[in-house]
Structure 1
Amino acid sequence: MNKVEFSPSLMTMDLDKFKQQITFLNNHVDSYHIDIMDGHYVPNITLSPWFIEELRKISEIPMSAHLMVADPSFWVQQLVDIKCEWICMHAEVLDGLAFRLIDQIHDAGLKAGIVINPETPIESIFPYIELLDKITIMTVDPGFAGQRFIESTLDKIVDLRKLREEKGYHYVIEMDGSSNRKSFKQIDAAGPDIYIVGRSGLFGLDEEIEKAWEIMSTDYEEMTGKKMP
């Protein structure tokens, strides 16, 4: 990946302005981050495969589903059926399932990702890391927006970059959680390929998405010294 990408977390958008916000973002972003929570793995219930189908009516941007669910097998098949471009599963619920589900995603011509919680070591995914298209590092605990940024999780991003270079792996590295003005500098130093931005980094900055994007861009450029991609 030659440039940093930004993927808005649509769980945190203003659904009253769904079409307006998506129409604007279609011209600025590289993917959309869709949180799917089942009320079991995490206590909240959020978006769904149906939401992705509705989104496709007004967007051709690739969709990345983040499965915060207790039974990934049930949800993976639904996402395969609607051809969700990225299907990302939590490492913590994949014991005995990882190879089968990754193969199922790849056999459908889609991309497989793994999400790692703050307290989960990257070594837990080493048995199948060479198969992965994306690894997402949670920089907050999963399930809730607006949590405290856990800076120590950025060490995993640094380690995954080194490992990718040493082994020739093909995964991209994504960070998820409290990506905003306060954390942009630290995140940039770690060097992920994809920033997920939510309420604190984008949607909560202004009621109008155009202004919110402008503020986010300025924040990123001021804190990192780099131009917004």
Structure 2
Amino acid sequence: MNAMFSPSLMCMDLTKFKQQINALNTRATFYHVDIMDGHYVKNITLSPFFIQQLKKIATIPVDVHLMCERPEDIIPLCLDAGADIISFHPETAGNKIFRLIQEIKEAGKQVGVVLNPSEPIEMVNEYIHLLDKITIMSVDPGFAGQKFIPETLNKIRRLKTLRDEQHYHYLLEIDGSCNPKTFKTVAASGVDVFIVGTSGLFSLDTNIEKAWDKMIEIFQRETADLTLA
């Protein structure tokens, strides 16, 4: 499987919204939309309304990452807005995890969970077979521009081995500081999807097409001696 890239739209230039989305439609695999409620993390970013507007021109799946204390309140809004994939932090769902997974799947959408740097993969043992995607945070959630935590790659490796052994179908995704400094190390872990934000994509050029081309050139150069499966 070739590397897939998911631009984090909280990092985009919203004054160029339509222009950048039209360009990314033919380049990216997913759009990553962070929804933060100001409680689970001390930040407030995008919203179901943003998803609704994005879906008017997006031609690739919209992948929503909920950083909210009550995902059960936000999931229906995201489904109504047109989200294609919804991921939440399992510790916020408590005894509602199976119900939330079922709600998302019954709507015909894909479901994922997100593990923070300090959280073990054992947290998802009971329902891992139901997941379409597992996102590993390589920084603490909430803010862009944090320092990469290399220990998180151990989880990627273990989850990839487990997927191969048990024939699970989830994608493995990494979120946080995916950029020229970390591309090679992250790619070597066996991850499928790279979420790219300011340092990985949007700061490379003010023209998003040129920024994307630069990102791909850097990625290919940094990973040239790796075999990406």
Q: TM-score, normalised by structure 2?
A: 0.96
| CA distance in 1: counterparts of 2:58 and 2:163, whole angstroms | 32
* Superposed structure 1 runs of 4+ greater than 6 Å apart: none
| CA distance in 1: counterparts of 2:196 and 2:66, whole angstroms | 17
SS of the residue corresponding to residue 130 of structure 1 reads helix
Residues 183-198 of structure 1 mapped to structure 2, 5 A cutoff: 183-198=182-197
> How far 1:218 moved relative to its partner?
1.4
The match for 1:26 is 25
- After the TM superposition, which of the residue ranges 88-97 and 25-34 deviates more from structure 2? 88-97
Counting matched residue pairs gives 227
| 8 Å contact from structure 1 (residues 87, 111) kept in 2 | yes
Matched letter for residue 34 of structure 1 = V
Residues 121-136 of structure 1 mapped to structure 2, 5 A cutoff: 121-136=120-135
SS of the residue corresponding to residue 74 of structure 2 reads helix
Residues 30-41 of structure 1 mapped to structure 2, 5 A cutoff: 30-41=29-40
Segments of 5+ residues of structure 2 without an aligned counterpart are none
| CA distance in 2: counterparts of 1:91 and 1:224, whole angstroms | 32
> How far 1:34 moved relative to its partner?
0.2
> How far 1:93 moved relative to its partner?
1.1
2:96 maps to 1:97? yes
| 8 Å contact from structure 2 (residues 49, 81) kept in 1 | no
| CA distance in 2: counterparts of 1:154 and 1:63, whole angstroms | 25
| 8 Å contact from structure 1 (residues 184, 220) kept in 2 | yes
2:6 maps to 1:7? yes
Matched letter for residue 132 of structure 2 = D
SS of the residue corresponding to residue 97 of structure 1 reads helix
Q: 1:185 to 1:89 in 2, by over 3 A?
A: same
Segments of 5+ residues of structure 1 without an aligned counterpart are none
SS of the residue corresponding to residue 174 of structure 1 reads strand
Residues 190-209 of structure 1 mapped to structure 2, 5 A cutoff: 190-209=189-208
- After the TM superposition, which of the residue ranges 218-227 and 169-178 deviates more from structure 2? 218-227
SS of the residue corresponding to residue 34 of structure 1 reads strand
| CA distance in 1: counterparts of 2:82 and 2:54, whole angstroms | 13
> How far 1:94 moved relative to its partner?
2.0
> How far 1:227 moved relative to its partner?
11
The match for 2:74 is 75
The match for 2:171 is 172
Matched letter for residue 105 of structure 1 = I
RMSD, aligned CA:
1.4
The match for 1:146 is 145
Kindly, what percent of the aligned residue pairs are identical? 53
SS of the residue corresponding to residue 125 of structure 2 reads helix
| CA distance in 2: counterparts of 1:213 and 1:227, whole angstroms | 22
- After the TM superposition, which of the residue ranges 148-157 and 88-97 deviates more from structure 2? 88-97
| CA distance in 2: counterparts of 1:185 and 1:216, whole angstroms | 13
| 8 Å contact from structure 1 (residues 221, 227) kept in 2 | no
| CA distance in 2: counterparts of 1:33 and 1:204, whole angstroms | 17
The match for 1:215 is 214
